[in-house]
């Protein structure tokens, strides 16, 4: 077969594998029409496409090599059409439909090709009524002319995706996944897009453009928040470039109407009906008969609309025996699309309507199995099959791939609108049918599907309710429905109560004291929703989704069969989820500190975790029972890995060693020594011969497993190494580093062979897929990249996380990628499309910062829930919560007169608040990363802020004007503090230094070094003579300000010192640490006076009040404690209400024990006596 061209060769292997083109398309991640084009020789495959097809066909060895070689030769030799064509470097076919059965339209195709390819039109609109064939024609056109463009990009707007999401995705595609940091506003983003349209010849298609226009509006106004699409048309049509934007729409956008013309670069084609001969071919298999004149009259009657002809063919066949002439003689046979759909829908059986509504809710193609599994469906498998066959005969549904069905866009819109109208009427009359049998939104749907359900079902339904009744009356009506359901439908299995809850949430109605007891609450999406005092007693909560209690997800790993995902968390727990649904199955508890690493054994029976507590725990994967605890490391266990045969466990530690453990007995077999700093990652080669390790000494050690001997040391990285991983064939090692690169090494040499660049921050995790063709990487730049190993190019950038990505893991079959992040989420991604399928959201309300008002009566705190809270010190009550930040709040500071409060956040802003009212007075913007610290000068005229962008900014808080930017630190600035006289600012940094800055000039006048770790906190004594600094080296240093010399080193903490503060008369220094303790020191001698141990988690911030003895401490245990440093009295504890406070879950059904435990930790209550 070596003499075959690539198309016939592909066809041979596909048929040998007994795959249809649709089957192969589904397995390879491409469209069926694209596979068809390659087989026909219309298109040549890219290297990545050929590899994906080979993988889908299970080609190996010589067959694989010949397949790839043939593809390469065709790319070099083939001219794709009579046009002078480029090889298409990149294509993203999105949701482009197949063109099987396409008939006619040759003149339209020729005109469009002339406009786009020869006349270089910049915008072309294909217009026409619903069902006329705009999308199919455009898809056929793209097949013919794609080779004339460097980039081809297709997106449907059918589900009204937000403009920013589409634009961002398009820019990433056109930039070869290099551009991730986009400008803030629409105009700047469109300008960036146009740069790429000038640089390359691009063909962009936006299908179903009418979906972003207001229905029934003669001036083609855009939906609220969708005006960006209009700006895009205006700018793309106005600006000179070498690309073309094609759109299909039932309505002509006003921008096109204003500028189109036959000599203009903006043109539109209004699509009329098909010809008689083409119409007969479309209806060839419908069982109709008649004379040529009858056929002509029928096609003319329906204006040659293909969808209308397909719809009307069914009643002609069923009611008139297929005789067109008899049908034409009936009363008023002429019907429009809407009338035809009305007529067809009325003729559907109850079972068929049930399926149609579910297909509209699902929004994308679903399998027969999925339809049969829908709860409350009374249909048997046979009834579902019969109904589906009937619907296909009626042309009401279409098959998108093997055994997957969906609705044509016109029909989906019709059924969705009918569904919303019917539901609104049922709510108005309180006569519930559809409202009980169908879900308005599916909580467990893929993220992008659920977003579409919100936009196209919940939003118009909520708008309808508000229009007719207003918010208060709508809320009352829904509450009345709950009362009626409890009286008439207790314990009944239906979707009504879940629908009510989703509607209430969408209407932003306060849910306090709502009663859902004894009801089935299915498919309620409750992540991030406040459910305080809600009653779920005896409710069935199966398939509803709640917020979980995990914190940062530090490590993720799939079980060998792909059914489970484990995650190690900063809550000291190991979580196990069902991978298919995201339901938490187990929570393994026992570690008293962060669980940095998790790994399943090769047989899936065991799960191991390595922790900050210096131990490794072996758990039974099915039950979460702890089988063994491995002791030996004298510092944090950063990484663990099972050997391929599961008999050995390797662990890497901050104690600079690697230990090899016998899994069965827990015995330490060997200690590998050589690293000179923290070991952050260990990995076995799949053949079991080698172990690789990487760490803070910037070196990778390759160890011979049988002897424990170091074979070689790989060097080249210019920063800490966070992750190492082997390729499946054990020949290549990948490593990631602080230096923002990934290096690929051949293990039989000491040289790296490739460097992958693209991430803009630390890369914490790398992993190969199962066949070694793709590498995934997770980074502090908040993105995940998928790399094609052969080309060294980024295939996709996965965006969605709002903080560092700690860990990534492929499912065993390579179709899914899981990621764990500092943003308290685990995400599941579709590897082929890059779409986020599911997000598991954790909740912790770690308190990051605390400060007293100058008079000591008020306390302010900043926390992970993005709120600044103001507390009454005497009563311990939260007076108000200030909302506005869009990410966690790391620092708070009162002005010296107490009239304003400043807060610094991970949203890169500083907000100035009026604490008495909660009013936000100003927002200071300029930092390009997290704001770690804020501090006022003694006179309150200046505010300083330190940031992860390595700078300090000096602000005028009243105006928000940035007065100066202080640069010099080479890493994050954790803390800033003014000297009492206001002339000097001190700063502490991740670069292990302290800097003194002259405020008047912005000049760095001194750099203090001595700490062996990050400097988390700096504080001046009130007389200005001493500076205290707390560090990751577990010490506090006291510096004499005049001489810049260390006068004392204080040691008592067993972990990082996060915060230091002097009391008002400088006699006492206090410190808070990651070791969960507060130490109180005699400042003059350095003697420890007291150690407070009531906190159960990291202490992030401490602050003294204006009197000399009251100290506040803020902790990740979600509490603030007020101490009297002169006594050992019990502290007063301040705690904010949790999201599920007093939510009653007594006798609930449908939740796992892990879910119930999580709800109770978040405040839910359960009466175990019932």
- pLDDT of 2 strictly over 70: no
Residue 398 contacts residue 407 (beta carbons within 8 Å): yes
Rounded to an integer, the average pLDDT of 813-820 is 96
With tokens 């002169």, the residue in question is 1126
Rounded to an integer, the average pLDDT of 273-283 is 80
pLDDT band at 101 (very low <50, low <70, confident <90, very high): low
> What confidence score (pLDDT) does residue 1168 get?
60
What are the distances in angstroms from CA 829 to CA 448, 725, 786, 801, 1153? Answer: 11, 20, 11, 12, 27
Rounded to an integer, the average pLDDT of 923-935 is 96
Range of lowest pLDDT (269-273, 379-383, 805-809) = 379-383
Closest of 713, 694, 591 to residue 652, by C-alpha:
694
> What confidence score (pLDDT) does residue 218 get?
55
What is the three-class DSSP state of 1054? Answer: coil
Query: What are the structure tokens assigned to 730, written together?
Result: 């054990």
- pLDDT of 85 strictly over 50: no
> What confidence score (pLDDT) does residue 219 get?
58
- How far apart, in whole angstroms, are the C-alpha atoms of residue 748 and residue 732? 9
> What confidence score (pLDDT) does residue 846 get?
93
Task: Specify the pairing of strand 202-207 against strand 244-249.
Answer: parallel
> What confidence score (pLDDT) does residue 32 get?
64
Q: What percentage of residues in the chain have a pLDDT greater than 90? A: 64
Query: What are the structure tokens assigned to 391, written together?
Result: 């619907």
Q: Tens of pLDDT along 620-649?
A: 999 999 999 999 999 999 999 999 999 999
- pLDDT of 84 strictly over 50: no
Largest CA distance in the chain: 110
What is the three-class DSSP state of 1146? Answer: coil
Q: Tens of pLDDT along 490-534?
A: 888 999 999 999 999 999 999 999 999 999 999 999 998 999 999
> What confidence score (pLDDT) does residue 1011 get?
97
What is the three-class DSSP state of 256? Answer: helix
Distance of alpha carbon 978 from the chain centroid: 39
pLDDT band at 285 (very low <50, low <70, confident <90, very high): confident
Q: What percentage of residues in the chain have a pLDDT greater than 70? A: 95
Closest of 439, 640, 420 to residue 542, by C-alpha:
439
DSSP per-residue letters across 401-454: ETTEEE--HHHHHHHHHHHHHHHHHHHHHT--SHHHHS-SS-TTS-HHHHHHHI
Q: Which of 48-57, 102-111, 764-773 ranks highest by mean pLDDT?
A: 764-773
Q: Tens of pLDDT along 886-895?
A: 999 999 999 9
Q: Tens of pLDDT along 675-711?
A: 999 999 999 999 999 999 999 999 999 999 999 999 9
What is the three-class DSSP state of 931? Answer: strand
Q: Tens of pLDDT along 866-911?
A: 999 999 999 999 999 999 999 999 999 999 999 999 999 999 999 9
> What confidence score (pLDDT) does residue 81 get?
37
- pLDDT of 79 strictly over 50: no
> What confidence score (pLDDT) does residue 82 get?
34
pLDDT band at 402 (very low <50, low <70, confident <90, very high): low
Neighbouring C-beta atoms of residue 360, cutoff 10 Å: 24
Higher pLDDT, 412 or 123: 123
Range of lowest pLDDT (174-178, 238-242, 396-400, 784-788) = 396-400
pLDDT band at 88 (very low <50, low <70, confident <90, very high): very low
Helices 228-238 and 186-199 sit at what angle, rounded to 10 degrees?
40
Rounded to an integer, the average pLDDT of 257-263 is 85
DSSP state of 336: -
Mean pLDDT estimate for the chain: 90
Q: Which of 129-133, 197-201, 351-355, 809-813 ranks highest by mean pLDDT?
A: 809-813
Range of lowest pLDDT (3-17, 192-206, 827-841, 1078-1092) = 3-17
What is the three-class DSSP state of 662? Answer: strand
What is the three-class DSSP state of 391? Answer: helix
> What confidence score (pLDDT) does residue 299 get?
83
pLDDT band at 1092 (very low <50, low <70, confident <90, very high): very high
- pLDDT of 77 strictly over 80: no
> What confidence score (pLDDT) does residue 1033 get?
95
Rounded to an integer, the average pLDDT of 1076-1097 is 96
pLDDT band at 49 (very low <50, low <70, confident <90, very high): confident
Q: Tens of pLDDT along 373-384?
A: 775 566 777 888
Range of lowest pLDDT (249-263, 365-379, 944-958, 1009-1023) = 365-379
| Residue spans of beta strands (DSSP E) within 674-718 | 679-684, 690-695, 699-704, 709-715
Closest of 810, 782, 777, 812 to residue 795, by C-alpha:
777
Rounded to an integer, the average pLDDT of 698-727 is 95
Helix, strand, coil distribution of the chain in percent, nearest 5: 25, 35, 40
pTM: 0.79
């Amino acid at each position: 077969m070596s003499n075959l061209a690539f198309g016939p060769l592909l066809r041979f292997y596909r048929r040998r594998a007994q795959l249809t083109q649709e089957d192969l398309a589904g397995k390879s991640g491409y469209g069926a029409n694209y596979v068809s084009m390659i087989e026909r020789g219309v298109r040549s495959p890219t290297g990545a496409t050929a590899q994906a097809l080979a993988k889908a066909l299970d080609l190996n060895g010589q067959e694989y090599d010949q397949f790839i070689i043939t593809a390469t030769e065709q790319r070099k030799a083939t001219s794709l059409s009579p046009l002078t064509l480029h090889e298409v470097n990149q294509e993203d076919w999105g949701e482009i439909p197949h063109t099987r059965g396409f008939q006619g339209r040759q003149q339209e195709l020729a005109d469009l090709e002339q406009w786009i390819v020869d006349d270089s039109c910049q915008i072309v609109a294909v217009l026409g009524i619903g069902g006329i064939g705009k999308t199919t024609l455009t898809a056929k056109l793209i097949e013919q002319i794609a080779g004339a463009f460097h980039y081809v990009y297709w997106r449907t707007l059918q589900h009204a995706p937000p403009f920013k999401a589409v634009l961002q995705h398009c820019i990433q595609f056109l930039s070869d996944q290099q551009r991730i940091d986009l400008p803030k506003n629409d105009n700047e983003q469109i300008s960036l897009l146009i740069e790429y349209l000038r640089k390359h010849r691009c063909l962009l298609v936006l299908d179903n453009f009418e979906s972003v226009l207001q229905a029934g509006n003669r001036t083609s106004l855009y939906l609220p928040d969708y005006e960006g699409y209009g700006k895009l048309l205006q700018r793309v049509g106005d600006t000179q470039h070498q690309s073309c934007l094609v759109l299909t729409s039932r309505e002509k956008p006003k921008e096109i109407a204003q500028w189109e013309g036959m000599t203009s670069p903006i043109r539109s084609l209004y699509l009329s009906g098909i010809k008689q001969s083409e119409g007969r071919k479309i209806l060839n298999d419908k069982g109709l008969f008649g004379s040529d004149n009858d056929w002509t009259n029928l096609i003319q009657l329906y204006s040659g609309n293909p969808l209308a002809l397909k719809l009307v063919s069914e009643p002609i066949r069923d009611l008139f025996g297929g005789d067109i002439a008899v049908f034409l003689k009936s009363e008023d046979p002429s019907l429009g699309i809407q009338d035809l759909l009305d007529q067809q829908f009325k003729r559907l059986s109850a079972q068929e309507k049930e399926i149609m509504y579910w297909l509209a809710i699902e929004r994308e193609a679903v399998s027969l199995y999925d339809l049969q599994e829908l709860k409350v469906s009374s249909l048997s498998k046979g009834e579902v099959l019969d109904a589906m066959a009937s619907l296909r005969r009626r042309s009401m549904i279409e098959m998108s791939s093997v055994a997957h069905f969906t609705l044509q866009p016109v029909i989906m819109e019709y059924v969705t609108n009918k569904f919303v109208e019917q539901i609104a009427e049922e709510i108005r009359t309180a006569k519930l049918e559809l409202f009980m049998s169908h879900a308005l939104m599916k909580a467990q749907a893929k993220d992008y599907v659920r977003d579409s359900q919100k936009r196209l079902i919940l939003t118009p339904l909520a708008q309808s309710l508000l229009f007719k009744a207003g918010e208060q009356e709508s809320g009352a009506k829904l509450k009345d429905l709950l009362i009626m359901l409890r009286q008439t439908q207790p314990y009944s299995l239906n979707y009504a109560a879940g629908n009510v809850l989703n509607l209430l949430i969408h209407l932003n109605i306060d849910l306090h004291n709502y009663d859902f007891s004894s009801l089935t609450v299915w498919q309620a999406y409750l992540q991030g929703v406040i459910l305080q005092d809600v009653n779920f007693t005896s409710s069935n909560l199966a398939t509803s989704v709640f917020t979980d209690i995990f914190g940062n997800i530090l490590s993720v790993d799939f079980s060998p069969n792909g059914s489970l995902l484990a995650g190690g968390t900063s809550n000291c727990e190991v979580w196990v989820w069902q991978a298919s649904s995201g339901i938490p199955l187990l929570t393994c508890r026992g570690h008293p500190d962060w669980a940095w690493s998790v790994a399943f054994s090769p047989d899936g029976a065991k799960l191991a975790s390595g922790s900050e507590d210096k131990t490794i725990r072996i758990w039974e994967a099915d039950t979460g029972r702890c089988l063994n605890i491995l002791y030996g490391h004298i510092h944090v266990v950063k990484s663990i890995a099972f050997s391929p045969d599961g008999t050995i466990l390797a662990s890497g530690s901050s104690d600079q060693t690697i230990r090899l453990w016998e899994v069965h007995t827990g015995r330490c077999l060997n200690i590998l020594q050589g690293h000179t700093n923290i070991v952050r990652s260990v990995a076995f080669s799949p053949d079991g011969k080698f172990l690789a390790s990487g760490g803070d000494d910037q070196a990778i050690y390759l160890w011979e497993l049988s002897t424990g001997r170091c074979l070689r040391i790989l060097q080249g990285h210019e920063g800490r190494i966070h992750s190492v991983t082997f390729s499946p064939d054990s020949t290549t090692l990948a490593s990631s580093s602080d230096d923002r690169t990934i290096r690929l090494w051949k293990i039989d040499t000491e040289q790296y062979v490739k460097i992958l660049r693209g991430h803009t921050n630390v890369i914490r995790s790398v992993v190969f897929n199962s066949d070694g063709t793709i590498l995934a990487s997770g980074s502090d730049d908040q993105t995940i990249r998928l790399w094609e190993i052969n080309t060294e190019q980024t295939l996709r950038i996965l965006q969605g996380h709002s903080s560092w990505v700690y860990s990534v893991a492929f499912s065993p079959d390579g179709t899914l990628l899981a990621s764990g992040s500092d943003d308290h989420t685990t995400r599941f991604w579709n590897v082929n499309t890059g779409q986020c399928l599911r997000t598991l959201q954790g909740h912790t309300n770690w308190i990051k910062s605390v400060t007293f008002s100058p008079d000591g009566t008020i306390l302010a705190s900043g926390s992970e829930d993005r709120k600044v809270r103001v507390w009454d010190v005497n009563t311990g009550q939260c007076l108000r919560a200030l909302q506005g930040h869009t990410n966690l709040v790391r620092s708070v500071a009162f002005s010296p007169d107490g009239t304003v409060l400043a807060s610094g956040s991970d949203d890169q802003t500083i907000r100035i608040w009026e604490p008495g009212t909660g009013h936000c007075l100003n927002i200071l913007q300029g930092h390009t990363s997290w704001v770690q610290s804020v501090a006022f000068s003694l006179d309150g005229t200046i505010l300083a802020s330190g940031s992860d962008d390595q700078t300090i900014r000096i602000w005028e808080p009243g105006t928000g004007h940035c007065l100066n930017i202080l640069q010099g630190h080479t890493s994050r600035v954790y803390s800033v503090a003014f000297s009492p006289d206001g002339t000097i600012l001190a700063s502490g940094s991740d670069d292990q230094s302290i800097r003194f800055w002259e405020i008047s000039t912005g000049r760095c006048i001194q750099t203090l070094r001595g700490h062996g770790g990050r400097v988390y906190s700096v504080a001046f004594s009130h007389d200005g003579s001493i500076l205290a600094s707390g560090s990751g080296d577990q010490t506090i240093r006291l510096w004499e300000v005049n001489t810049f010399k260390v006068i004392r080193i204080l040691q008592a903490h067993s972990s990082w010192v996060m915060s230091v503060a002097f009391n008002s008369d400088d006699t006492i220094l206090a410190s808070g640490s990651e070791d969960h303790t507060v130490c109180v020191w005699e400042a003059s001698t350095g003697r420890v006076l007291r150690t407070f141990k009531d906190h159960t988690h990291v202490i992030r911030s401490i602050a003294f009040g204006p009197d000399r003895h009251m100290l506040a401490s803020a902790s990740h245990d979600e509490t603030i404690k007020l101490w009297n440093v002169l006594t050992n009295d019990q502290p007063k504890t301040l705690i904010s209400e949790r999201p599920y406070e007093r939510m009653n879950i007594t006798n609930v059904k449908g939740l796992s024990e892990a879910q119930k435990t999580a709800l109770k930790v978040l405040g839910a209550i359960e009466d175990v006596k019932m």
